Amino acid sequence: MSELTWVEISKKALNHNIQQFRRLIGPNVLLCTCVKANAYGHGMIESSQLMLKAGVDWLSVNSLYEARALRQSGIPSPILIVGYVSLEGIREALKLNCRIVVYNHETVERIGKVSERLKKKTPVHIKVETGTNRQGVLLNDLVDFAKAIQKYRYIEMEGLSTHFANIEDTTDHSYAMLQIQRFKKSISKLANANIHIPIQHCANSAATLLFPKIYFQMVRIGISSYGMWPSNETYVSYQQERHQGYKLVPVLTWKTKIAQVKTVPVGEYIGYGCTYQTSHKTKLAILPVGYYDGYDRGISTGYVLIRGKRAPIRGRICMNMIMVEVTDIPNVSIEDEVILIGQSGNETISAEVFAQWAGTINYEVTTRINDRIPRVVVQ
Burial 244-283 (b: 16+ CB within 10 A, else e): eebebebbbbbbbbbbeeeebeeeeebbeeeebebeeebb
Among 43, 89, 159, 222, binds ligand PLP (CB under 6 A): 222
- Say whether residue 220 binds ligand PLP (CB under 6 A): yes
The count of chain residues that interact with ligand PLP, using the rule CB under 6 A, is: 12
Q: Considering the rule CB under 6 A, would residue 157 count as an interface residue with ligand PLP?
A: no
Nearer to ligand PLP, 206 or 322 (CB): 206
Class of residue 194 by CB neighbours under 10 A (exposed 0-12, middle 13-18, buried 19+) = exposed
Choose between 206 and 258: whose C-beta lies nearer to ligand PLP.
206
Nearer to ligand PLP, 224 or 344 (CB): 224
Query: Is residue 221 within the footprint of ligand PLP (CB under 6 A)?
Result: yes
Q: What are the angstrom distances between the C-alpha of 309 and each of 324, 325, 339, 378?
A: 12, 11, 10, 23
| Residue closest to ligand PLP (Cβ) | 222
- To the query of whether residue 151 is one of the catalytic residues in this protein, the response is no
Report how far Cα 63 is from the mean position of its chain's Cα atoms.
14
Min dist CB 329 to ligand PLP, Å, is 36
Q: Smallest distance, Å, CB 202 to ligand PLP?
A: 9
Asked if 63 interacts with ligand PLP (CB under 6 A), we say: no
Query: According to the binding rule CB under 6 A, does residue 47 interact with ligand PLP?
Result: no
Considering 12, 53, 151, 272, which one is annotated as catalytic?
272
Which member of 5, 63, 204, 367 binds ligand PLP (CB under 6 A)? 204
Binding mask 245-284 for ligand PLP (x = CB under 6 A): ----------------------------------------
Residue 238 bears catalytic tag: no
- Which of 49, 132 has the CB closer to ligand PLP? 132
Decide if residue 34 touches ligand PLP (CB under 6 A): yes
| Catalytic annotation, pick one of 36, 127, 255, 257 | 36
Residue among 40 and 254 whose Cβ is closer to ligand PLP: 40
**160 touches 125 (CB < 8 A):** yes
Q: Which stretch, 147-155, 174-182, 215-223, 307-315, contacts ligand PLP (CB under 6 A)? A: 215-223
Task: Give residues in contact with ligand PLP (CB under 6 A).
Answer: 34, 82, 163, 204-206, 220-224, 230
Residues carrying an active site annotation: 36, 272
